[in-house]
A and B are shown apart, each in its own frame.
Chain A
């Protein structure tokens, strides 16, 4: 009887362990197949040659059969000319530099608008913080595309801003802001602002107010207390928010395509055109790999910060 019970218990605990394994394995395998493997394929295809075929790239590995000798050999062709093309053509280098510049300006603008907002919400009455944060996040739930579209009507010549300036008397005639770098800055800042405010708010809200009181008691002016206490303590939030804005902004496609001019070159746009207009899949893959190389350090910092926050939350 005892033996039966113990067998049953060990059987059940094995099912428990087995169940645990399944719970990990399902998302793990999904991510390996649909996230990890695709990168390896992109990496592989970036070394192939563009050919006119379906699919339009040469295969890297071939079995060559020698009929006379009766042997066959494995041939691996790695073509690195795609990368030379990226390094040698001004268009690509310019697009990379432009993307970094536009993403950096967007991040700074988000920080400039988002920090005072997050600070004000964290200082507000506790009962009002929830609804105030809700109002920041709410636009994020409405379509990204629709929000970019809203700015077209505002920024174009004869648009809302143009008419307003004319009405006030500052300008005589339509002002075209649309199709310029500034339009892209405004649109991207608009879309990414919630990503900046969220982590800033969560670090500022956790801050102990007694530190500021102590500083005030010791005669520190509010502005100085802010610089020497609040700002350093909110640094994790600043880093997390900046990375959440900067990393996707570098690879942004929709905003520069809809709001930017033809010379607002960004790397996401170059990749899109290589793929859809030129149908050059290998070069598009090389552009993607180069973009990832630019982003790998910020992404690793982000994961480090993210991991630390998860540890702290536990």
Chain B
């Protein structure tokens, strides 16, 4: 028995090293003075300074944040509706197709999603005259389409794991469905909404393939800029950018987990109070 515990610990250690050493190296070499990214020649923060003067990159970053914020918000709205429909509405006509269309984008190769959406936009432009050319709007629609599936799955699992008796009690007391949703269900699934929004935001901020298909001239996103510069080789500026992105993500996750843990504790305390008083 002892030996197997040893093997498992080593496996775990190896797994975490595999996951984190590359990111750690990336961060270390962002402070390297040399242009040769992998040979250490002294500490320097000059690449961060250069990053701040790279206008093309900053513009692309601004555009990406805009697209990510709008598409994450849209996909939380759509994903919540979809999650509700799949968990609370029982059987309705076309449910199988609906369920299929929700899960398929999760595993669909990005090249297919990108190509098919581009062909749709081209065909729509031909027949309807909209969208007029491709740009921020088409990227936002494309990102909403593939991120809403992730949001729907997150919300669906939260709703499925939730105790339905509170909603039923409110319904029995005569609350209308809309009121039940806004007063009871929405506060209970709020953590899932936040998680879904963050997930959609990061997925959008990360996408290079779909955006390359559906973007037009003048709408280059941050991943597209990174991708084309990485194709020409590594540069310390990208290391600096990556470090900043990792820092932002880590801070965001840290804050989110603290807030969620606090809410969870608060909820548990409230429940205990309710039990003691009741």
Contacts and interface: CB of A to CB of B under 8 A. Distances in A.
Interface of A: 12, 15-16, 19-20, 23-24, 26-28, 30-39, 41-42, 45, 55, 113-114, 116-117, 119-121, 123, 132, 134-136, 138-139, 141-154, 156, 158-160, 163, 190, 193, 197, 222-223, 243-244, 247-248, 250-254, 257-258, 268, 271-272, 275-276, 281, 284-285, 288, 291-292, 295, 298-299, 302-303, 306-307, 310, 313-314
13 contacts: A27-B152, A34-B117, A34-B120, A113-B18, A116-B12, A143-B242, A154-B22, A158-B39, A223-B4, A248-B107, A268-B111, A271-B111, A271-B115
B167 to A, nearest CB: 14
B209 A254 contact: yes
Interface stretch (B47-55, B77-85, B186-194, B266-274): B77-85
Nearest to A246: B107
A213 to B, nearest CB: 12
Nearest to B180: A16
B129 interface: no
A302 B120 contact: no
Given A34-B141, A150-B25, A303-B103, A12 B15 contact: no
A135 B20 CA distance: 9
Interface string B38-64: 110000000000000000000000000
Contacts, number: 248
Interface string B75-117: 0001101101111010010100011111111111111100111
Interface in B28-42: 29, 36-39
Contact of B99 (A19, A146, A307): A307
A254 B208 contact: yes
Contact of B119 (A41, A113, A116, A136): A41
- Which 7 pairs between the two chains have the least Cβ-Cβ distance? A251-B109, A116-B11, A38-B116, A150-B22, A27-B82, A120-B8, A247-B107
Contacts of B4: 222-223
B22 A117 contact: no
B60 to A, nearest CB: 13
Contact of A310 (B84, B126, B160): B160
B99 A158 contact: no
Contacts of A292: 112
Given A35-B101, A117-B11, A251-B111, 19 more contacts: A15-B176, A20-B89, A27-B79, A28-B85, A30-B78, A30-B148, A41-B123, A141-B198, A141-B202, A142-B249, A145-B227, A150-B25, A222-B4, A243-B107, A258-B227, A271-B111, A295-B109, A298-B107, A302-B107
B162 to A, nearest CB: 10
Interface in B204-218: 205-206, 208-209, 212-213
B1 A27 contact: no
A123 B8 CA distance: 9
Contacts of B102: 31
Chain B interface residue number, banded: 35 or more
Contacts of B84: 23
A19 B104 contact: no
Nearest to A307: B99
Nearest to B202: A141
B196 interface: no
Contacts of B36: 158
A146 B104 contact: no
B220 interface: no
Interface string B124-149: 00100000000000000110110010
A215 B264 CA distance: 38
Interface in B172-186: 176-178
B109 A160 contact: no
A144 B109 CA distance: 15
A77 B174 CA distance: 60
A93 to B, nearest CB: 18
A197 B19 CA distance: 12
Contacts of A291: 109, 111-112
B19 A145 contact: no
A60 B82 CA distance: 35
Nearest to B94: A28
Contact of A153 (B18, B108, B202, B234): B234
B23 interface: yes
B203 to A, nearest CB: 9
